[in-house]
Amino acid sequence: MIIAVDGPVAAGKGTLARRIAGHYRLQYLDTGALYRAVGLKLLRDGKDPHDEEAAEHAARQVGDVALDDPALREEATGEAASIVAANQAVRAALLQYQRDFAQTPTGAVLDGRDIGTVVCPDADVKLFVTASAEVRARRRFDELAAKGIETTYDAVLKDLEARDARDQGRGTAPLKKAEDAHLLDTSKLDIEAAVTAACKIIDAA
Ligand code: C5P
């Protein structure tokens, strides 16, 4: 059983994918953390995320960064991740790791941007989780405020729209809904309602 969960930044897909994995007892991989790990390695090594050769090299050594390193969640790391994610060689270097993980005998849930379209095109169930940019920006702003990070709603919205444009506009594996993915709009759903809706889709499949 492979479940692919894709969608834009702050749509709630990470929380949802984790909950689905717990419910169906499947292994879970946050593929965004792999791109973040590449971005973080470059920042720590004093390299520019736009430096394509350095980024490819970092992707080959992605195991050097622990996927639970708190620095992975920082805004600067997310920004670097979205830059390296447009690099074809980086994507190629991370592809096999993700495909191997998906083959876990107990089954797996992977969340990201291209799981249903590129990494696991034959996934048993594909969910495309989204929400309006305003709702996503509000959620992200509240998350940052709870962490004591000072910013404004407008700055968060602007950053999120720039990240969306980069994810949707890149030539390699752009963010898009797979044709056979189920659309789950969480704009008006809290996490419990989103989990219930997702389980209904999975059970039916
Ligand atoms: O999901 P998260 O915000 O942690 O992902 C960080 C960045 O990694 C995203 O902005 C996106 O550009 C990239 N990414 C990707 N493909 C994936 C997962 C993440 O391009 N499967």
pLDDT tens readout for residues 139-170: 999 988 998 889 999 999 999 999 899 889 98
Is residue 130 in a domain? yes
The CATH number for 119's domain is: 3.40.50.300
6 lines ligand 1 (CB under 6 A): no
Is residue 46 in a domain? yes
Is residue 76 in a domain? yes
Local confidence band at 64 (pLDDT 50, 70, 90 cut-offs): confident
Local confidence band at 49 (pLDDT 50, 70, 90 cut-offs): very high
Predicted local confidence at residue 147, as pLDDT: 87
Per-residue pLDDT tens over the stretch 86-115: 999 999 999 999 999 999 999 999 999 999
> What pTM does this model have?
0.93
User: Could you tell me which residues come within 8 angstroms of residue 61 by beta carbon, excluding any fewer than 6 positions away?
Assistant: 41
Q: How far is the CA of 101 from the centre of ligand 1 (A)?
A: 17
Instruction: Please tell me the residue having the least CA distance from ligand 1 atom 9.
Output: 82
Q: How far is the CA of 7 from the centre of ligand 1 (A)?
A: 9
Predicted local confidence at residue 172, as pLDDT: 87
Predicted local confidence at residue 63, as pLDDT: 79
170 lines ligand 1 (CB under 6 A): no
Name the burial class of residue 41, with classes exposed (0-12), middle (13-18) and buried (19+) by CB atoms within 10 angstroms of its CB. buried
Predicted local confidence at residue 80, as pLDDT: 95
Q: How far apart are CA 201 and CA 24, in angstroms?
A: 13
Query: b/e map of 92-108 (b: 16 or more CB within 10 Å)?
Result: ebbeebbeebbeeeebb
Is the pLDDT reported for residue 34 higher than 90? yes
Q: Which two tokens stand for residue 178?
A: 């797979």
47-50: long-range pairs with CB below 8 Å, 24+: 49/79, 49/80, 49/83, 49/84, 50/83
Is residue 29 in a domain? yes
> Tokens 């004093």 identify what position?
46
Is the pLDDT reported for residue 66 higher than 90? no
Instruction: Please tell me the residue having the least CA distance from ligand 1 atom 12.
Output: 82
Predicted local confidence at residue 59, as pLDDT: 95
Q: What is the mean pLDDT of the chain?
A: 94
Is residue 204 in a domain? no
Is residue 36 in a domain? yes
Is residue 186 in a domain? yes
Structural domain of 164: 2-196
Helices 75-84 and 31-44: crossing angle in degrees, nearest 10, is 100
Per-residue pLDDT tens over the stretch 166-200: 889 988 889 999 999 999 999 999 999 999 999 99
Mean pLDDT of 7-32: 96
Predicted local confidence at residue 45, as pLDDT: 95
Cα→Cα distances 174→25, 72, 110, 163, Å: 30, 22, 17, 12
Mean pLDDT of 130-145: 95
140 lines ligand 1 (CB under 6 A): no
Rounded to 5°, the CA angle 82-1-112 comes to: 5
> Tokens 């499947």 identify what position?
26
Predicted local confidence at residue 137, as pLDDT: 97
Q: How many domains does the chain have?
A: 1
Is residue 202 in a domain? no
82 lines ligand 1 (CB under 6 A): yes
